[in-house]
Amino acid sequence: MKLYESHISEFNEKSIKEHQNQFDFLGDTLDKKNINTLNVVDALAKFQVAIPSWALGAGGTRFGRFSYFGEPSNLTQKLDDVGLLHALTQTAGAISLHIPWDVPEDYNAIKEQAKSLNLKFDAVNSNTFQDQANAKESYKFGSLCNTDEAIRAQAIAHNQDVIKIGEKLGSKSLTVWLADGANFPGQNNFQTVLSNTENSLKSIYKTLPDDWKMFIEYKPYEPNFYSTVIQDWGTSFMLANACGDKAYTLVDLGHHLPNTNIEQIVSTLMLKGKLGGFHFNDSKYGDDDVTVGSVKPYALFLIFNELVYGMQNNPQNPDLSWMIDASHNIKDPLEDLMQSLEAIQEAYAKALLVDQSALKQAQSVHDVVACQEILQRAYRTDVRPLLAQARLQSGGALDPLALYRGLDVRQTLIEERGKHTIASGL
Ligand code: PSV
Ligand code: MN
Ligand code: MN
């Protein structure tokens, strides 16, 4: 489905007056607090989040999968979907591919398509958590950590192939997430599997192009339920340090045990210059991968508060790769992604409103109440007119979800692609 500029401008015209009133009112309020509204809007317009190719179809659980229909069944259609999201929101200017699910058949055509949709290729993801058809070795008992050298070699070679695919597309980073671990005590020797993983990662790192980064993701459990080799940020940080300057930790919001202080992890990693990438999602219990901001929006704001602080004060930390990693079983995936993008931008905008110098002052005199008030004052501000303004300025829709529904995009996709499509991937 093609979205024309006229679709967006005609839609925006209907509510432009109301938006302008809301934006001006908020601008006046922020002005009185010495906040430069235009700077905030500018920062929001620049903030781009990569969409994972595997989130474009309705996800499933191990109990079942309910199609949302009209889902993309190849890479071209996946790019089209991200293009739609980007045209509507002007926030989704990149896609993150998963190999082997997304190997392009025609690289030039895919690159041309991405260019025409104004999309970049963000991190490429390897997959050693499933056995691929015709694979010689099995990952049933681990990949990069395996005690069998031939299995490790196959997993290393796969990651190196993924880098080569990414290079052809103009991607600049590799994300490694490993399912490796054990289901039962005694199954693995902890030291052996950790050492094997470190050595395997070093072999992959050796072939990383100079201008690339390697992101090492951690996760406490699932699919292994007794231990995971890269279980936490400390393990990832240690492995990234062992590999070298181009290796970083990737924080996935769902990859923590309940009540973990993620904002503190973010802050520590940025101080040490080792936070490379971010996977946004939300959760109530574990790696639930539900819509960003749907369960714990205040926690997301606190995380963004540290990210903003880090971006302003930690030049030792590189620019971050922002990605969504969510998957949904019962919503239209594109609507869900729009909700996630909105929640991310909202938390970012609120964090930008935090009066950092007042906070520093209150901290220095141990005025705990004032510290909390400063954070909550920013959090309680309704920043949605700023988000809408950023979209408007960049050619996006004032209300992307309303326009998506108004145009009945999903119905058009179903007509174009058929009802019983299955997105490749998870
Ligand atoms: C599995 O937990 C996972 O959600 C990881 O977060 C990866 O980033 C993603 O799958 C894709 O491999
Ligand atoms: Mn992830
Ligand atoms: Mn996950």
The predicted pLDDT at position 413 comes to: 96
Number of domains in the chain: 1
Mutate to test the pocket of ligand 1, among 128, 252, 283, 324 (most ligand atoms within 8 A of CB): 252
Q: Which ligand is nearest to the CA of 223?
A: 1
Q: Does any domain span residue 293? A: yes
Residue range of the domain that includes 297: 5-16+45-331+395-417
The predicted pLDDT at position 59 comes to: 80
Which two tokens mark 375?
Answer: 């954070």
Query: In this structure, what is the dihedral angle of CA atoms 363, 366, 369, 371, given to the nearest 10 degrees?
Result: 0
Q: Does any domain span residue 403? A: yes
Name the percent of the chain in helix, strand, coil, to the closest 5: 50, 10, 40
Nearest CA to ligand 1 atom 2: 287
Q: Does any domain span residue 79? A: yes
| Number of the ligand 1 atom closest to the C-alpha atom of 287 | 2
CA of 252 to the centre of ligand 2 (A): 5
Q: Does any domain span residue 11? A: yes
Q: Does any domain span residue 383? A: no
Contact 358, 375 (CB under 8 A): no
Mutate to test the pocket of ligand 1, among 95, 217, 222 (most ligand atoms within 8 A of CB): 217
Mutate to test the pocket of ligand 1, among 173, 177, 253, 256 (most ligand atoms within 8 A of CB): 177
Ion ligand 2: residues, CB within 5 A, are 252, 279, 325
Mutate to test the pocket of ligand 1, among 61, 101, 221, 325 (most ligand atoms within 8 A of CB): 325
CA of 407 to the centre of ligand 3 (A): 32
Strands (DSSP E) along 238-331, which ranges? 247-252, 275-280, 321-324
- What's the CATH number where 110 sits? 3.20.20.150
CA of 253 to the centre of ligand 3 (A): 8
Nearest CA to ligand 1 atom 12: 177
CA of 277 to the centre of ligand 3 (A): 14
| Number of the ligand 1 atom closest to the C-alpha atom of 254 | 6
Question: Burial of 94 by CB count in 10 Å (0-12 exposed, 13-18 middle, 19+ buried)?
Answer: buried
Nearest CA to ligand 1 atom 4: 325
Q: Does any domain span residue 349? A: no
CA of 64 to the centre of ligand 1 (A): 18
Q: Which residues of the chain have pLDDT under 50?
A: none
Q: Does any domain span residue 101? A: yes
CA distances from 218 to 9, 18, 179, 255, 410 (A): 43, 45, 9, 7, 35
The predicted pLDDT at position 65 comes to: 85
How far apart are alpha carbons 271 and 283 in whole angstroms? 26
Contact 232, 260 (CB under 8 A): no
How far apart are alpha carbons 395 and 313 in whole angstroms? 31
State the complex-level ipTM.
0.98
φ, ψ dihedrals at 186, nearest 5°: 90, -15
CA of 272 to the centre of ligand 1 (A): 24
Q: Which residues line ligand 1 (CB under 6 A)?
A: 125, 177, 217, 219, 252, 279, 287, 325
Q: Does any domain span residue 125? A: yes
| Number of the ligand 1 atom closest to the C-alpha atom of 52 | 11
